[in-house]
Amino acid sequence: NAGVTQTPKFQVLKTGQSMTLQCAQDMNHNSMYWYRQDPGMGLRLIYYSASEGTTDKGEVPNGYNVSRLNKREFSLRLESAAPSQTSVYFCASFKIGHTEAFFGQGTRLTVV
């Protein structure tokens, strides 16, 4: 039981490049989330998917797109990376009736 798996763990991009952050959970969770965490800051919600087939904007969606590929996978895409998107990205998942959201280990992204 791997929990929530994020790939990659580290990435350096040049300004204007694109990339997709992958997230997969094997716990049959309905809801999945993408956050960014800047140094010394809290987690800010980028996008979330309350259930398979739905996605909604969070607090800071600009510059990002998401895809809920199936119940297991929720990807985050940066179409044209900017230095302001340098951050640590966390994926999380949740199942209704449960009392804990599970987090991936994070992806440290640097845009130069």
Partner 1 sequence: AQKITQTQPGMFVQEKEAVTLDCTYDTSDPSYGLFWYKQPSSGEMIFLIYQGSYDQQNATEGRYSLNFQKARKSANLVISASQLGDSAMYFCAMREMDAGGTSYGKLTFGQGTILTVHP
Residues that bind partner 1 (CB under 8 A): 30-31, 33, 35, 41-45, 48, 50-51, 54, 56, 58-59, 88, 90, 92, 94, 96, 99-103, 105-106
Report the residue count for the chain. 112
Identify residue 24 by its one-letter amino acid code.
A
Shortest CB 15 distance to partner 1, Å: 25
35 vs 75 by CB, closer to partner 1: 35
Token readout for 79 is 């179409």
* Continuous H helices in the chain: none
Shortest CB 36 distance to partner 1, Å: 11
Closest of 90, 94, 103 to residue 9, by C-alpha:
90
